[in-house]
């Protein structure tokens, strides 16, 4: 595998009983590259993302991070949760809903992660948490409890927590879909800043204008398959398939960038 390939997804398939939700998904992600998965609801985007870190173990296919097989032993059997923990530490994930620990302060939510997954000492974790809260513009909220934060602030804490585990890859699963419209911008700004740092990301988003600005490549999915992919601006400005043209037109009719 080429040295600059960070993530390799090969022939990924997923079924829930008789329901087939992913079919032959294959793509690579280079170091420092940002890829956005777009498509209609039910197209398999979020399932694909969750399969990458084995929150939804794929039914078929392989996922490799830096050439190492993720989630399976050499004999093909699934790893145990304990075996998988070091691999998951290398893949940070930010969900639609924030999943903050309600009984911990903002600072503690971020500081706990590196002690659990990286074995950092308390002082090191506290220093890292302070740095990351500054990065997401929330230093002034460090001592607050999550319920006192807006949705946008909670999502920024979730981003800081994902960064605290010092991942090689960041996954974003529709990070703004649960937010009120006026709070979307503050979260997108933080993600843009991370992209400018050269962090490798796979993003599932309905924010097409944001995908155009942040992503190097776009992958359009429908019916559990990749329908079209390529450089972000080329795919969005000059779609080659009728299905993608139809999808983009539906977004324009619905409000220009939101599904």
pLDDT score of 23 more than 90: yes
Q: Are 169 and 91 in contact (CB under 8 A)?
A: yes
Among the listed residues 77, 63, 80, 163, the one whose alpha carbon sits nearest the alpha carbon of residue 118: 163
Residue 140's contacts (CB-CB under 8 Å, 6 or more residues apart) are: none
pTM given for the model:
0.92
Using DSSP bridges, classify how beta strands 34-38 and 217-222 pair: parallel, antiparallel or unpaired: parallel
pLDDT given at position 253:
63
pLDDT score of 137 more than 70: yes
Q: What is the pLDDT of residues 55-87, one digit of tens each?
A: 999 999 999 999 999 999 888 889 998 888 889
- Average pLDDT along the chain: 93
Q: What is the pLDDT of residues 81-136, one digit of tens each?
A: 888 888 989 999 999 888 899 999 999 999 998 998 899 999 999 999 999 999 99
pLDDT score of 1 more than 70: no
Q: Are 46 and 21 in contact (CB under 8 A)?
A: no
For 227, the token pair is: 């329908």
pLDDT score of 256 more than 50: no
For 210, the token pair is: 């944001």
Residue 149's contacts (CB-CB under 8 Å, 6 or more residues apart) are: 106, 141, 157
Q: What is the mean pLDDT of residues 152-175?
A: 96
Please name every residue paired with 36 in a beta bridge, in sequence order, or none if there are none: 203, 218
- Residue 162 pLDDT level (bands cut at 50, 70, 90): very high
pLDDT given at position 258:
42
Among the listed residues 89, 190, 174, 96, the one whose alpha carbon sits nearest the alpha carbon of residue 138: 190
pLDDT score of 259 more than 70: no
Domain boundaries, the chain: 5-68+79-204
> From the centroid of its chain, how far is CA 86?
18
Per cent of the chain over pLDDT 90 is 81
**Left, alpha or beta for 32 (phi > 0: left; psi -120 to 50: alpha)?**
left
pLDDT given at position 75:
84
Q: What is the pLDDT of residues 171-203, one digit of tens each?
A: 999 998 888 888 899 999 999 999 999 999 999
For residue 207, the SS3 value is coil
Fold for the domain defined by 5-68+79-204: Rossmann fold (3.40.50)
Please state, in angstroms and rounded to a whole number, the distance separating the CA atoms of residues 76 and 81.
Answer: 15
């Amino acid at each position: 595998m080429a040295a600059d390939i960070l993530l390799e997804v090969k022939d990924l398939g997923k079924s829930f009983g008789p329901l087939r939700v992913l079919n032959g998904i294959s793509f690579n992600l280079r170091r420092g590259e940002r890829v956005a998965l777009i498509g209609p609801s039910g197209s398999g985007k979020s399932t694909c993302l969750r399969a990458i870190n084995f929150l939804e173990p794929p039914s078929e296919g392989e996922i490799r991070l830096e050439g190492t097989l993720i989630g399976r032993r050499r004999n093909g059997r699934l790893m145990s949760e304990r075996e998988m923990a070091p691999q998951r530490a290398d893949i940070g994930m930010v969900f639609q809903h924030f999943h903050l620990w309600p009984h911990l302060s903002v600072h503690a939510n971020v500081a706990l992660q590196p002690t659990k997954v990286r074995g950092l000492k308390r002082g090191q974790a506290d220093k890292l948490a302070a740095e990351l809260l500054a990065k997401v513009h929330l230093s002034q909220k460090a001592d607050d409890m999550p319920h006192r934060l807006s949705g946008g602030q909670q999502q920024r804490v979730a981003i800081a927590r994902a960064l605290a585990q010092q991942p090689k890859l960041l996954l974003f699963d529709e990070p703004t879909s649960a937010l009120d419209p006026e709070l979307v911008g503050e979260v997108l700004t933080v993600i843009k800043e991370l992209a400018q740092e050269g962090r490798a990301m796979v993003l599932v988003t309905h924010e097409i204008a944001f995908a155009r600005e942040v992503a190097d490549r776009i992958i359009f999915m429908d019916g559990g398959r990749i329908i079209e992919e390529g450089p972000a601006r080329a795919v969005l400005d000059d779609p080659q398939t009728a299905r993608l043209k139809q999808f983009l037109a539906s977004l324009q009719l619905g409000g220009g960038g939101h599904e």
